[in-house]
Amino acid sequence: MVFELIKKRRSVFPAQYNAVPVEKEFISKLLEAANWAPTHRKTEPWRFKVLMGDKKAQLGDFLSKKYQETEARPKQVKIRKLLENPRKAAAIVAICMQRDPNESVPEWEEIAATAMAVQNMWLCCAEAGVGCYWSSPGLIKHMDEFFDLAKGERCLGFFYIGNYDEEIPDQTRTPIEDKVVWLE
């Protein structure tokens, strides 16, 4: 049931990934699921760049170097994490949003549609028992230096994907009643 799958969805971080690869065919299915997200005026703003193999290490090198260039007091722990996390993932999907050139919908709606596309991928990963995590470091504002982004396209983060062995604990939420006002 979809409700149970939604409750099962978790962030599984690169440090938890094992060395078992994730097949390209599975990633293609994730992207196809993403493509079925709701989109106002059918702008379909989501764009994805899939990094595998050596390209993941290149991303880590870029992020680590850019962090050191832009941070007044770079922390060694963060430098190492930026360098190593991409190498630990089986694949990384750069999550990008292509702004409708006609601006027929507000930008926030296109960002929301892209986020719904990512949620579709996340739910597919949860169903398959594959770990994933959406990272949105401040460094994404520099991704036009790493990727060839189209005019109006921007990077919203990285969707790390990897297999894992450990048990992911159940989560809790505060009651929905604390977040809802019924108006009749």
Q: Is the pLDDT of residue 85 over 90?
A: yes
Say whether 104 counts as a known binding-site residue.
no
* CA atoms of 25 and 110, how far apart (whole Å): 27
Q: Return the H-helix or E-strand segment holding 56.
A: helix 54-70
Annotated binding residue 11: yes
| CATH number of the 2-179 domain | 3.40.109.10
**Is 10 annotated for ligand binding?**
yes
pLDDT band of 1, cuts 50, 70, 90: confident
Instruction: List pLDDT tens digits, range 126-155.
Output: 999 999 999 999 999 999 999 999 999 999
Domain ranges within the chain, ordered by starting residue: 2-179
Whether residue 64 is annotated as binding a ligand: the answer is no
Q: Is 136 labelled a binding residue?
A: yes
